Amino acid sequence: MKKLFLCLLAVAMTAVPLVGHAEDDEDAGFDPGSVIIGHVTDAHSWHMFDYQDKDGVEHAVAIPLPVILINDGHLDIFSSARFHHGHADYKGYRLVGGGAEKEEIVCVDAEGNLTGTKPVDLSITKTSAAIMIAVILLLVIVFIARAGYKKRPNQAPKGLQSLVEMLVVFVRDSIARPMIGEKHYQRYLPYLLTLFFFIFFCNILGLIPFFPAGANITGNIAVTATLAVITFFITNISGNKHYWTDIFNTPGVPAWLKIFPLMPVVELVGVFTKPIVLMIRLFANMTAGHIVILGFIVIIFILSNLFGMAVGGAVSVVSVFFSVFISLLECLVAYIQAFVFTMLTALYIGMAVAEPNHAH
């Protein structure tokens, strides 16, 4: 019962920012799509919650993040608080978008008119800050486990050390060794461990609805694309002669298909589609889970606006129940997606370094 209460409390905290939006848009009409998309996309500040003062004026509480812009060769660095949540211009820049629209910074002239140009945006956004936090926390966990081995050498692990060792052994014995082979797996094991722990840890942090967690890191396609590109380069740089021969001179294929290079083209296209599959699978699965959870919460405010607070309160029991259920399911999905991404990466690397079976 205690664990169930904590889960319900976590989901309720997820709904805190939505309450402010619902009240703010009560007259203009509540836009659930804008609220949901706004919570799963990136931003230049870390929104915490909204509150109303004694005069009924709503204020947003957010953690400002550094804005780093390059425009006409000039470097401008300032806090995102200068934009006052998109209500003010600063140094000829304006923060536009948000919600269902992509949040970005554009240039404006002295009169406040859009110039049609955009600066090069190198800002530390919510996703960037969340990645830094995730990496720091992950390093702390790893170093705690490392200290445990130093304090208790040649003894059974315990506590956090047991969890880390279990996952390391799992990646080694269930992913790296069978997919890459005994001869080469140790060379790529550090990368596979880094990949698995990073994805799994970011997935779990994304399910915790309060700072410093709550950011949809692996639901950002730029993050998954970066991981996929790293896998792409490692795979193809590691590819041996046999790997490239199978692509451009596929064995067992009729000669006329080699003269008319149909199979080489198909195989070469496959080289580029593999990282694309990795990128989209992780991005789509994690984003879909967040959207479903937020969808159940948003239903409460939609029905409250349409039929009154009594109906919204009655529906909230069912919505929170399903939100908790999906959240628990997402914990499993967080592990599965880290496993699948790491397994496919190991499979691609194993195909690239595999030696031909001469006896066969």
DSSP-derived secondary structure for 277-328: HHHHHHHHHHHHHHHHHHHHHHHHHHHHHHH-HHHHHHHHHHHHHHHHHHHH
Residue 56, classified by CB atoms within 10 Å of its CB into exposed (0-12), middle (13-18) or buried (19+), is exposed
Q: What is the DSSP letter of 117?
A: -
pLDDT at position 26 = 40
pLDDT at position 334 = 92
pLDDT at position 224 = 94
Q: What is the pLDDT of residues 269-296, one digit of tens each?
A: 888 999 999 999 999 999 888 888 888 8
pLDDT at position 23 = 39
pLDDT at position 254 = 73
pLDDT at position 28 = 46
Going from N- to C-terminal start, the domains of the chain cover 66-123, 127-353
Q: Six-digit token pair at 223?
A: 């993050």
Question: How many angstroms separate the Cα of 245 from the Cα of each of 242, 264, 269, 303, 355?
Answer: 5, 10, 15, 62, 12
Closest to 197 (Cα-Cα) out of 234, 143, 244: 143
Q: Which residue has the tokens 């607070």?
A: 309
pLDDT at position 258 = 67
Query: How far is Cα 224 from Cα 238, in angstroms, rounded to an integer?
Result: 21
Query: How far is Cα 273 from Cα 163, in angstroms, rounded to an integer?
Result: 34
Please say whether the beta carbons of 323 and 7 come within 8 A: no
Q: Which residues of the chain have pLDDT under 50?
A: 1-28, 359-360
Q: What is the pLDDT of residues 163-180, one digit of tens each?
A: 899 999 999 999 999 999
Question: How many angstroms separate the Cα of 44 from the Cα of each of 64, 80, 170?
Answer: 7, 6, 38
pLDDT at position 259 = 67
- Supply the DSSP string of 58-76, one letter for each residue: EEEEEEE-EEEEEETTEEE
